[in-house]
Amino acid sequence: MQEKLENYIEELSLFDDIMDKYEYIIDLGKRAPSLRENEKIDEYKIQGCQSSVWIIKELREGKLYFKTDSDTVIVRGLARILGDIFAAHLPQEILNFDTKELEKLGLQEIISPVRLNGFTSMINKIYQYAKDENRG
């Protein structure tokens, strides 16, 4: 997680112009695979975001992977980054990770903090999945 996070932090830090940073996230969003329509159900939906965001977990050999999607391309890119950072880790590893570290990405502000912060909600969803798996 730390390594991937640092890669993203480094890539994002290359952009002097904030619009270039968004261009990068939009590009990730456009290239990210979409969920099927029948996967976009409430169970996978993040509550508290202004736009719709879904995160689905997959368990392979004890490790968690995440499929993500959103109806807005920027949030899609953002969800993709988070899904990628946490992918291929044991639930306990995810739970041990200090989420404060993610603030270094400087992306919290992307999902407007109207009422509930969507960025935090996405991370919470990933944590919830890790907790569920850990419990068995």
Partner 1 sequence: MQSEMIRDDFAFFNHSDLVYLDSASTTQKPKSVLEAMDAYNTQYCANIHRSSHGLGNAATSKYETAREIIGKFLHVGDKSEIIFTKGVTEGINLVAQSYAKEHASCVIISALEHHSNILPWQQIKKPLHVIQTKENLTPDLEHFESLLAQNPNALVALIHTSNAFGITHPIKEMIALAHRYGAKVLIDAAQSASHMPINISDLDADFLVISGHKLYGPTGIGALYIKKDLHPLCNPYQVGGGAIMQVFYDHTEYLPIPYMYESGTPNIAGAIGFGAAIEYLQSVGYAYIAKHEQNIIAYALEQLSQIEDILFYTQVASMQSNISFNISNIHHHDLGILLDKQKVQVRVGHHCVQPTMRFLGIDGTVRVSVGIYTNKADIDQFIKALKRSIAMLKG
By CB under 8 A, is residue 22 in contact with partner 1?
yes
| Contact residue for partner 1 among 10, 14, 16, 19 (CB under 8 A) | 19
CA distance 34 to 58: 15
Task: Answer whether 65's CB lies under 8 Å from 88's CB.
Answer: yes
Do 112 and 50 form a contact (C-beta atoms < 8 A)? yes
3-state secondary structure of 52: coil
Taking CB under 8 A as the criterion, the residue among 2, 15, 23, 31 binding partner 1 is 23
Q: Does 55 bind partner 1 (CB under 8 A)?
A: no
The CA R_g of the chain, rounded to the nearest whole Å, is 14
The Cα–Cα gap between 96 and 47 comes to 24
Q: Does 75 bind partner 1 (CB under 8 A)?
A: yes
- Under the binding rule (CB under 8 A), the answer on residue 71 touching partner 1 is yes
CA–CA separation, 80 and 32 (whole Å): 7
14 versus 19: smaller Cβ distance to partner 1? 19
- What minimum distance in Å lies between the beta carbon of 62 and partner 1? 36
Q: Which stretch binds partner 1 (CB under 8 A): 15-23, 39-47, 56-64, 93-101?
A: 15-23
Q: Which of residues 112-131 bind partner 1 (CB under 8 A)?
A: 112
**Could you give phi then psi for residue 90, rounded to 5 degrees?**
-70, 150
Q: Which residues bind partner 1 (CB under 8 A)?
A: 18-19, 22-23, 26, 30, 50-51, 71-75, 110, 112
